[in-house]
């Protein structure tokens, strides 16, 4: 089922990554970074996704490499969802949450469309996980991880500028008292 959706969606994502689309803009920006031609003007979109694409293009300058990197982000998100479910409830809940996310059609489709959604959801989930780890064990290392991931998620989706600091304020620091 998952492989079938991805097989059907892959040609669609390539077709829409042409000029005039968001996907095309991001792909050109990622390749432009490698060529030293981008950004030529102030950012009109969040900058992390084009830089992520440029890193992928360093290893393999193909859209297949982008699709594979997005699949790896989705796998990471499913794993983090499992860990969060286990942390908040129990192992069975974590398994159900991870499994349910792995079958969600919209998210599966986004794994092969070169947009920032896969990176955004992965970083947002990692941000939530790092905040929960900070809550469980308030250490400097955990604070650095939470802050770094929070900053990265803000660079891929600026809306998180309001969400991430609020989440940090809500962290219960009873473990330090």
Q: What is the C-alpha to C-alpha distance for residues 165 and 1, in angstroms, rounded to an integer?
A: 38
pLDDT-derived band at 175 (thresholds 50, 70, 90) equals very low
The secondary structure of residue 16, as a DSSP letter, is T
Give the pLDDT confidence of 86-144 residue by residue, as tens digits: 998 999 999 999 999 999 888 887 777 778 888 999 999 999 999 888 888 888 988 89
Query: For residue 20, is pLDDT > 70?
Result: no
The answer to whether 134 and 150 have CB atoms below 8 angstroms apart is no
Least confident of 56-65, 99-108, 147-156, 161-170: 161-170
> CA distances (Å), 37 to each of 28, 34, 166, in order?
10, 8, 37
* pLDDT value at residue 134: 84
Q: What is the C-alpha to C-alpha distance for residues 131 and 114, in angstroms, rounded to an integer?
A: 28
Nearest to 126 by CA among 162, 93, 167: 167
């Amino acid at each position: 089922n998952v492989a079938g959706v991805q097989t059907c969606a892959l040609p669609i994502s390539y077709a829409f990554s042409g000029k005039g689309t968001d996907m095309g803009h991001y792909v050109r920006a990622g390749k432009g970074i490698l060529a030293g031609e981008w950004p030529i003007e102030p950012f009109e979109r969040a900058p992390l996704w084009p830089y992520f694409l440029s890193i992928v293009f360093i290893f393999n300058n193909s859209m297949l490499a982008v699709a594979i990197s997005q699949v790896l982000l989705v796998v990471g998100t499913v794993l983090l969802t499992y860990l969060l479910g286990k942390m908040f409830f129990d192992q069975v809940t974590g398994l159900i949450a991870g499994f349910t996310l792995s079958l969600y059609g919209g998210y599966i489709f986004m794994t092969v469309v070169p947009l920032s959604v896969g990176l955004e959801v992965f970083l947002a989930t990692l941000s939530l996980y790092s905040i929960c780890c900070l809550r469980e064990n308030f250490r400097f290392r955990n604070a650095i991880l939470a802050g770094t991931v929070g900053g990265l998620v803000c660079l891929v989706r600026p809306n998180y500028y309001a969400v991430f600091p609020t989440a940090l304020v809500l962290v219960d620091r009873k473990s330090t008292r």
